[in-house]
Amino acid sequence: MTSAWIENGPVSVPSKPVTYTAGVVLAVIAVAGLGLGFKAAMRQPSETVGPGQKVAADGSIQAQPIVVLPPPVAAPQTQQAKTPTPTDQAKADAAARAAAAQQVQAKPANPNGDIDDILTSASEKPPAPVKPAADEAPPPPKSDVPF
């Protein structure tokens, strides 16, 4: 007694006509894909170019911007030309003010002054620290008891 599955093994396989038909169909699809690939490779660049695109001499397509920006606008004239130049009197006044400011800044500081005394008013000064009337009591004497 022989059964069909022992003859073909534990895996069932399709019949020979189905296998040959599937192989022929795959071969036809492979040849058609190969032909379409060669056709696409041999196309002229003019077939691949969209409207408004330019092709360079080497066959590459030149990039086009998505958004075209307007040309830059020139900055307005500054108002410096309309301001009058300072006169000699104005220059002399400015120099005198600068000299007065430098003289005020150049005064020697009080070397004996304490910065806290200078910057705080009498109402802001903290009170003097209060000393406790009695010192702390000394610690109790040690004993030999462990607890």
pLDDT in tens, 66-122: 888 888 888 887 765 555 677 888 888 888 888 877 777 777 665 565 666 666 666
pLDDT band for position 19 (cuts 50, 70, 90) = very high
pLDDT band for position 31 (cuts 50, 70, 90) = very high
CA distance to 12, 68, 74, 78, 87, per residue, from 71 (Å): 74, 9, 10, 21, 42
Domain boundaries, the chain: 15-46
pLDDT at 136: 76
**pTM surpassing 0.85?**
no
Contact status, residue 49 vs residue 55, Cβ threshold 8 Å: yes
Residues β-bridged to residue 61: 55
Quote the CA–CA distance of 9 and 11 in Å, as a whole number: 5
pLDDT at 33: 97
